[in-house]
Amino acid sequence: MRQSNLFFTTKREVPAGEVSKNAILLERGGYVQKTLAGAYSYLPLGLLVIRKIGNIVREEMNKLPRTSEVQMTILQPRELWEETGRWDDAGMKEIMYRVGDDNSAGLGASHEENVTDLFRHLFSSYKELPMAAYQINTKFRKEARAKSGLLRGREFLMKDLYSFHASEEDLDTYYEYAAAAYMQVYERMGLKAIRTEASGGVFSKQHSDEFQIICEVGEDDIYLNATGDLAWNKEVIDGEDDPKLLEFSGGEIRKASAVEAGNIFRLGTKYTAAMNAQVSGENGERIPVYMGCYGIGVSRLMGILVEIFGSLGENNRGAKIVWPESVAPVQCHILDLLNDGTAEQLYTHLSNLGVDVLLDDRSDKTAGEKFADADLIGAPHRIVVSKRSLEAGGLEYSLWQKEDAKILSSEDVFALFKKTSPQ
Amino acid sequence: MRQSNLFFTTKREVPAGEVSKNAILLERGGYVQKTLAGAYSYLPLGLLVIRKIGNIVREEMNKLPRTSEVQMTILQPRELWEETGRWDDAGMKEIMYRVGDDNSAGLGASHEENVTDLFRHLFSSYKELPMAAYQINTKFRKEARAKSGLLRGREFLMKDLYSFHASEEDLDTYYEYAAAAYMQVYERMGLKAIRTEASGGVFSKQHSDEFQIICEVGEDDIYLNATGDLAWNKEVIDGEDDPKLLEFSGGEIRKASAVEAGNIFRLGTKYTAAMNAQVSGENGERIPVYMGCYGIGVSRLMGILVEIFGSLGENNRGAKIVWPESVAPVQCHILDLLNDGTAEQLYTHLSNLGVDVLLDDRSDKTAGEKFADADLIGAPHRIVVSKRSLEAGGLEYSLWQKEDAKILSSEDVFALFKKTSPQ
């Protein structure tokens, strides 16, 4: 991609009204543009990142047994939500947008009713179970305060997975597979997630699990042991003397702020019972169907990545994002400071090798402006083509915005990408 | 994919309340499930088809000069629409859903305001033009009657492209590139589209262009000449004696019902002027920005394909869809009537060759049920593994649901896919 051709620009100033780090950096980097509080439009590079995050999630979900990708409607008919009593539920009323002249539909804040309706249309026998379906789709929630950028939005992208089982044991088995898939998702984008015991809510006596990432702007407080492999949300802990903490921690307990990057729930039969979504059992009798639900905020992950891997700098200088390679919009950013055709050749050659390259081909920008933009954009590999680099015998190459750029020949650069390229 | 693992089933009966061919066949084939009138959930195979259609559109849009993919918000702030006067426009009020406790936002029925807002945030000089951005995103329209399945929905998937230019001539140039890209889109999915002159609406004295596909359920009437390379929407024709018809047609004129599969408009400066989205010109003066918009209904195309390539059969028998290979959910459907491992081996081998295969591995279905389902699903290549086929020396192979199945050896089948496979 040529930078001059893209429908985007970076910004020098902190956008008016933005207070969260991820929103500031993503808008300054030309990744998103705020359209209204809590709702961001994705510009070309932002769409590439969100799609890469979505594809990592998709690949891990597709490995789960008997799990299909679907896409449910955003419009939610009132009748479905009346079946479960959630249409008039006070908490749901607070967050669900209603639409239509007669308010006869809602906008999906969650899809338990919708997916259970699909399930009962499609399946009728225990022999067909387990079955699971997920989607990556836009969700809507009336957030009173939407000031955390992509961490908490009114319109956001979410992966929601729902599984259906003929027994509680089968649900428990799938639940653990899903938990393992979640850990894979975070690991693949360079995030250290902590599986954290949380309340089961109204659905289940069993606990639910959250996947928490330690982060100072996180809205959750968690307690974790020294190795970080056992953790509890504050909501399930009865003060710092809770015997649970003492029993499992070996004495060393830390408290930390964390942001929830996913959660998984055993819903049991709440929705399937209310919506009459039973199946026939071995002897033809109607048997209950046990359900689990599993959510990951895809656009929230983009915000979390910037909270973790971004830096605001000081006095508007030094702002940068350092994307992990798996989700970076491009692998390589070429800064052409010479405009003599050398960078163009390199761009063509690397593109032909299958490397995703962004070429800063703008002729009306200073070197300083190009470096500042490249810091904000944050591609893992950077190559500068300048008079100085050519005089020093080649191209200036740096990785992850580290200071120690090296001078490499074109051949060295090609060899590098032959090694790092996934092909 | 194994059919028994997928979150879908076919249906034997015409779904209650459906009258349109595409809705009946898509729901019977397990492609979609109606959630409310005019809003369909996509089941796994339906999502594959809609994604293939979307990718064809995406590839052709990406070939257009200086054109980027973005994703704008579905929520539309009232203030933006008040700038253009469309918030209180009677026609727009009729189709745009409003949301929020104070109705302070709408759901995107169209994104001119949103994209013009992005444009003015990002660009300020004629030197940066032309610039164009498109998205493939969910749109919402309050349709009073939504009875045409995927042809006219309340919630639907659309590709909308917007271009910005420093002169009318530049807009005209891009407009023709876009028209050519549209023709490529339809051709790649086996549809014969007719570029049809239509009204420019309130935006422009120049005509707009529609891409019409002849189809008996189409809502438009068009006049076309013998070769079909010149056509007019009835709305721009002054009766059958209109001199325009006589002049260009060479005397032979047909009238036909057609369904609109896309349209392109010159918007001129209507939105950019109302929203103060001018740029600086050569001498620093503010100059007007000319805009074009270009729409393709992605989910509507899925409906059109079924109207054209599907058949309802008679008395609930013989219903089928025959997908063009470029948009079929899978290339090949293997019907296992034997369950002795032969079909499994074939499935593994073809999958390893990179062929998209659906294996009907269900052991509780009769041969008749499997054939009827395969007709509805409509994969281009079908392979039946049965006692009869093995006795005849191999596998029963047929293309496009033609009657004359051939007996082929496994090697013949592999060779066939080596030839047809895109790799």
Q: Which domains does chain B have, with CATH numbers?
A: 7-72+111-309 (3.30.930.10), 330-420 (3.40.50.800)
**A304: contact with B, CB 8 A cutoff:** no
| pTM for the predicted model, two decimal places | 0.96
Nearest CB neighbour to B47, from listed A70, A128, A142? A70
| Minimal C-alpha gap between B252 and chain A (Å) | 46
**A13: contact with B, CB 8 A cutoff:** no
Cβ–Cβ below 8 Å for B70 and A40 = no
Cβ–Cβ below 8 Å for A42 and B132 = no
Confidence at residue B162, expressed as pLDDT on a 0 to 100 scale: 98
- pLDDT higher than threshold 80 for residue B249: no
What mean pLDDT do residues A304-320 have? 91
User: For the ranges A201-215, B215-229, B240-254, B274-288, which has the lowest average pLDDT?
Assistant: B240-254
Confidence at residue B147, expressed as pLDDT on a 0 to 100 scale: 83
Confidence at residue B202, expressed as pLDDT on a 0 to 100 scale: 61
- pLDDT higher than threshold 50 for residue A44: yes
Query: Using 50, 70 and 90 to split pLDDT, how confident is the model at A263?
Result: very high
- pLDDT higher than threshold 60 for residue B370: yes
- pLDDT higher than threshold 70 for residue A423: no
* Residues 6 or more apart whose Cβ sits within 8 Å of residue A411: none
pLDDT tens string B302-360: 999 999 999 999 876 889 999 999 999 999 999 999 999 999 999 999 999 999 999 99
Question: Using CA atoms, how far apart are residues A158 and A139, in angstroms rounded to an integer?
Answer: 7
Cβ–Cβ below 8 Å for A98 and B97 = no
Confidence at residue A250, expressed as pLDDT on a 0 to 100 scale: 67
Confidence at residue B423, expressed as pLDDT on a 0 to 100 scale: 43
What mean pLDDT do residues B58-86 have? 97
Share of chain A above pLDDT 70, in %: 96
Q: Which of residues 234-273 of A touch B (CB under 8 A)?
A: none
Query: Using 50, 70 and 90 to split pLDDT, how confident is the model at B204?
Result: low
> Which of B18, B28, B41 to mutate against chain A (most A CBs within 10 Å)?
B41
Cβ–Cβ below 8 Å for B72 and A97 = no
Whole-number average pLDDT of chain B: 93
Cβ–Cβ below 8 Å for B73 and A142 = no
Dihedral of alpha carbons B263, B269, B272, B275, sign: negative
Chain A neighbors of B100, CB-CB under 8 A = 97, 142
Cβ–Cβ below 8 Å for B72 and A35 = yes
Share of chain A above pLDDT 90, in %: 81
Confidence at residue A240, expressed as pLDDT on a 0 to 100 scale: 77
pLDDT tens string A156-208: 999 999 999 999 999 999 999 999 999 999 999 999 999 999 987 665 667 89
- pLDDT higher than threshold 70 for residue B279: yes
User: CA-nearest residue of chain B to A128?
Assistant: B4
Number of other CB atoms surrounding residue B136 within 10 Å = 21
- Residue whose C-alpha is closest to residue B5's, from A96, A284, A331, A127: A127
Chain A neighbors of B83, CB-CB under 8 A = none
Chain A neighbors of B87, CB-CB under 8 A = none
Nearest CB neighbour to B70, from listed A42, A74, A138? A42
Confidence at residue B253, expressed as pLDDT on a 0 to 100 scale: 86
Confidence at residue A52, expressed as pLDDT on a 0 to 100 scale: 98
Cβ–Cβ below 8 Å for B75 and A140 = yes
Concatenated DSSP letters for B99-166? ESTT--EEE-S--HHHHHHHHHHH--BGGG--EEEEEEEEEE---S---SGGGS-SEEEEEEEEEEES
Dihedral of alpha carbons B11, B12, B15, B16, sign: negative
Question: Using CA atoms, how far apart are residues A342 and B26, in angstroms rounded to an integer?
Answer: 53
Whole-number average pLDDT of chain A: 93
**A2: contact with B, CB 8 A cutoff:** no
Nearest CB neighbour to B33, from listed A7, A8, A118? A118
- For β-strands A290-297 and A155-165, DSSP reports them as antiparallel
| Minimal C-alpha gap between A277 and chain B (Å) | 15
Q: Which of residues 47-106 of A touch B (CB under 8 A)?
A: 47, 50, 65-77, 80, 97-101, 105
pLDDT tens string B86-139: 999 999 999 999 997 778 899 999 999 999 999 999 999 999 999 999 999 999
Chain A neighbors of B44, CB-CB under 8 A = 68-70, 133
